[in-house]
Amino acid sequence: MRKVKKALRHLIIAVIWLGIWQILSAVAGLSVLLPSPAETLTEFFKIAATPEFWLSALYSVIRITAGFFLGVILGSITAVASAFSKTVNEFLTPIIQIIKATPVASFIILAIVWIKTNNVPSFISMLMVYPIVWTNVKTGINETDKNLLEMSDAFTVPKSKKFMKIYVPSVKPYFISAVTTSMGLAWKAGIAAEVICNPKLSIGGEIYSSKIYLETPKLFAWTAVVILMSISLERIMLFIMKRGKKND
């Protein structure tokens, strides 16, 4: 009963916002300024019926998730090295701070100069994920229970077993938090990179062309695709992480 009430409340809120959208669209008077929900939905079904839609969505997912997983792998490996080596930590910390402080647009423009256009979204996604994973994994290692570590040393527990039985459980909550948080960030940054570098068969490229030709309903429809796919990818990642946690 509680779930039904919650779903009903969310539905009412959604209807209210759609009503506000419809009123603003009517006030604007031109779809080129603000299309109505019906116009956006019609355009969505129109583009979804084309092969280019599915190919663009597929290639965007491949590019961005490739960068995401690369960022997770590199962030985890270097975080472990930083946690156990003061020299490595001091060497990497300025780079992490620079990545966090630099606007995404600056990295995208630089990446267009450095690498092939089709690889820019992957590179940008990796850059957005890397510092989050690095910070969280390193924090998890540093927060490991010192009493457990001292006990394992006293009983001469092998390093491999100490890592798997003590460090990994300590790091896991931090790792899950980093992965679920950075998935959405990687997706948004990757789409932004596609908009700027405009690779073939990409969601960002479609958004860019919609803006150039003032096809606002199409722009809204593709933006809705970005939002829906972002939510879906985050939910999938969260589901995977929860399943992995239950199987431990």
pLDDT in tens, 126-169: 999 999 999 999 998 888 777 776 777 676 767 777 777 777 88
pLDDT of res. 44: 92
Please name the residue that has the structure tokens 């803006």: 211
pLDDT above 60 (res 248): no
Stretch (H or E) spanning 98: helix 86-101
pLDDT band at 211 (very low <50, low <70, confident <90, very high): confident
Give the side-chain half-sphere CA count within 13 A for 104: 22
pLDDT tens digit sequence for 233-244: 888 887 777 776
User: Per residue in 170-182, pLDDT tens?
Assistant: 888 889 888 888 8
Residue by residue, DSSP assigns 100-122 as HHS-HHHHHHHHHHHS-GGGHHH
- Is the model more confident about 195 or about 157? 195
Please tell me the predicted confidence (pLDDT) of residue 130: 94
